[in-house]
Structure 1
């Protein structure tokens, strides 16, 4: 973008932000956005659907950058607008609450959101890896003259959260520190997306054991994440072994990553290895019998199922040095034995499929679940319901 266009954009945003301070907020108008405006997923989606189904007096509006999402939601009877369209801008200007899972800047049009609108960051998972200020510290852009000038001219770009969600006292402490937010603003309600684990499932007889592999992100947005060939992922051999043992293996990359092209081509003829690229894995995650991960906080969610979780820290030391450090000593918040290659991991999956879990595994599992999850009180039917009443009272 040329300098004149940048200046014009800045002036337009400043004008909108100034108007946002004057526009009265409409009670019970709530706006939602997620994943850079590109996905209908995660905690905002789950809470949006809860509000539409259970709190009819709330006008819930989904804001996105994707016209396909607008069309999809409208077909389902929901309200949705593009973030920079006239109606989308007006809804954001008038909103009483704004819900995001990355940041106000990423998921909505921040110039529209004044300080009179309460920003609730539902976030996108419990952190095993360090996040926010615990990674970057106080941004250096705020410590020099140019940075302070930018901050002054772009007040809508500042990090702002009025509330965050936690799942226990332990996670409340971590998130409070990471976001520089008082503990009383970090609400222990559980995550709306975890409502899927509370729903009763029909005990259908299953012949195939379903495993999902969910590694954490690496690199920047849109980069390939290759944790396969270099760690012994022989497609033909693994597919044959899985077939012999009636096991399906689903590979799910982190939303900011994509699988390597050679892997996509290699598994085209596989009968028991697939790649999941759906918008929201929480639409189906409760259907899996086992989860495999390395450092993804997704395993904290999966603990609520009580089903096996396997850990494959192929590159632990490299990851901590080149990507991000962890909040905990890895061995303290995960359960071994660990797998350091795909052949080891496939053997471990077969063992778990045969219910070969030690008593120590089950004890550790229960201890970690109690540490990271406060049980839902009987007066609430879901985590979403608890969140709603926490915000309403």
Structure 2
């Protein structure tokens, strides 16, 4: 906490200094995932603008020195990155200006675009009842450090219901939330993959706190011997990817040794490979809403539903209304449905289309262009 307060005090002079510095036209600064990862909606829009609109100077800010080139990708704690951010016209993020870029940029003289990182079915932002911004402690903090009150010039969404939720979550006027579709979903239309092997992806959503180890296996009937035998006999591969902010339970990971179960790196851009999978297993993650664009089966595994909605997050929707697939209580039921879908992938097809149309107004691969045009309207 002391370290965080120190950082905020360091940002105060820069915050006020920015009021004196006019923004540089067509300089857009991107950041994502606490400054640690190069992916998600900001990455896809960054690459799109870089390729198709050279008149816009785009810069990515990151903590990862390995990907820096000192031109378009800058190290966050370098003088060049800080100076570039001070004079930029537009900032584009996946989470928060405080973590993806710098606290000082949350300044009324600049434009901040919230691209977010998934279509949420779980409550986020102001709607998440875990956070109380109105207590005395926070009010004092916001008074001293005004940049902690994040206000966005533009927020993107994928559907009318998503638009309403985003406005509520970020305390924004509905007019500030534009229905554009998500840049990361253009990949479903612009890249085409052939499924070469029967692969399944298990990708649960965030639980507990950032960097916590999560085990959704042992307590829910995952018997390694039975599962491995099942996968080998049916020539199926199971890829496990935890939420980027969680870690896989080390004991569980070390106990599984088979080429039929693979653990994916958290830094992997999952949307680029979603089309490789014949089935995904999900819970409350917005990832399955992206996967609906493939029109392939989804198995839902809300093993800890009651605990999740009481201890973690409430949901925006009735769970059964927005989950077009079987709801499994344990891993044995998951295995049963894998076989059913392998034999007949058309099961739940109509329900999948219904939910897909509900959450994706645009299904054309042009979301990057729509977002780009909305930003041009904003700055002009």
The TM tier, using the shorter chain, reads: over 0.9
- Aligned residue in 1 for 2:156: 165
Q: In the alignment, which of 304, 320, 329 is matched to residue 331 of structure 1?
A: 320
Whether the 8 Å contact between 2:328 and 2:334 is mirrored in structure 1 is yes
Q: In the alignment, which of 110, 121, 124 is matched to residue 117 of structure 1?
A: 110
- Aligned residue in 1 for 2:143: 152
After superposition, the C-alpha distances for 1:299-339 in whole angstroms (9 at most, x for unaligned) are 11111111111111111111111111111111111124211
Whether the 8 Å contact between 2:201 and 2:240 is mirrored in structure 1 is yes
1:315 paired to 2:304: yes
- Aligned residue in 2 for 1:387: 371
- Aligned residue in 1 for 2:81: 88
What is the CA–CA distance in structure 2 between the aligned matches of 1:241 and 1:138, rounded to whole Å? 43
Whether the 8 Å contact between 1:311 and 1:338 is mirrored in structure 2 is yes
Structure 1 residue 357: Cα displacement: 3.9
What is the CA–CA distance in structure 2 between the aligned matches of 1:113 and 1:369, rounded to whole Å? 34
Distance 1:117 1:328, change over 3 A: same
The correspondence of residues 271-290 of structure 1 with structure 2, limited to 5 A, is: 271-279=259-267, 280-290=269-279
What is the CA–CA distance in structure 1 between the aligned matches of 2:208 and 2:131, rounded to whole Å? 21
Structure 1 residue 113: Cα displacement: 4.4
| 3-state DSSP of counterpart to 1:48 | helix
1:254 paired to 2:243: yes
Whether the 8 Å contact between 2:288 and 2:298 is mirrored in structure 1 is yes
After superposition, the C-alpha distances for 1:174-216 in whole angstroms (9 at most, x for unaligned) are 11112111111111111111111112425x472x211101111
Whether the 8 Å contact between 2:23 and 2:88 is mirrored in structure 1 is yes
* Structure 1: gaps spanning 5 or more residues: none
Q: In the alignment, which of 349, 356, 372 is matched to residue 359 of structure 2?
A: 372
Structure 1 residue 126: Cα displacement: 1.0
Whether the 8 Å contact between 2:295 and 2:349 is mirrored in structure 1 is no
Whether the 8 Å contact between 1:104 and 1:160 is mirrored in structure 2 is no
- Aligned residue in 2 for 1:12: 10
What is the CA–CA distance in structure 2 between the aligned matches of 1:61 and 1:232, rounded to whole Å? 47
Q: In the alignment, which of 24, 27, 38 is matched to residue 26 of structure 1?
A: 24
Q: In the alignment, which of 215, 218, 225 is matched to residue 214 of structure 2?
A: 225
Structure 1 residue 121: Cα displacement: 0.7
After superposition, the C-alpha distances for 1:58-109 in whole angstroms (9 at most, x for unaligned) are 11100112212325xx6xxx61112232111111111111000111111011
Q: In the alignment, which of 288, 291, 295 is matched to residue 284 of structure 2?
A: 295
After superposition, the C-alpha distances for 1:35-66 in whole angstroms (9 at most, x for unaligned) are 11111111111111111111111111001122
Whether the 8 Å contact between 1:93 and 1:113 is mirrored in structure 2 is no
1:101 paired to 2:94: yes
Whether the 8 Å contact between 2:195 and 2:276 is mirrored in structure 1 is no
What is the CA–CA distance in structure 1 between the aligned matches of 2:285 and 2:323, rounded to whole Å? 11
1:126 paired to 2:150: no
Q: In the alignment, which of 333, 341, 345 is matched to residue 344 of structure 1?
A: 333
After superposition, the C-alpha distances for 1:358-389 in whole angstroms (9 at most, x for unaligned) are 3xx12211111111110246xxx521111111
- Aligned residue in 2 for 1:38: 36
1:187 paired to 2:178: yes
Distance 1:348 1:178, change over 3 A: same
| 3-state DSSP of counterpart to 1:136 | coil
Structure 1 residue 290: Cα displacement: 1.3
Q: TM-score, normalised by structure 2?
A: 0.93
C-alpha RMSD of matched pairs (Å): 2.0
After superposition, the C-alpha distances for 1:252-272 in whole angstroms (9 at most, x for unaligned) are 1011111001121122x2121
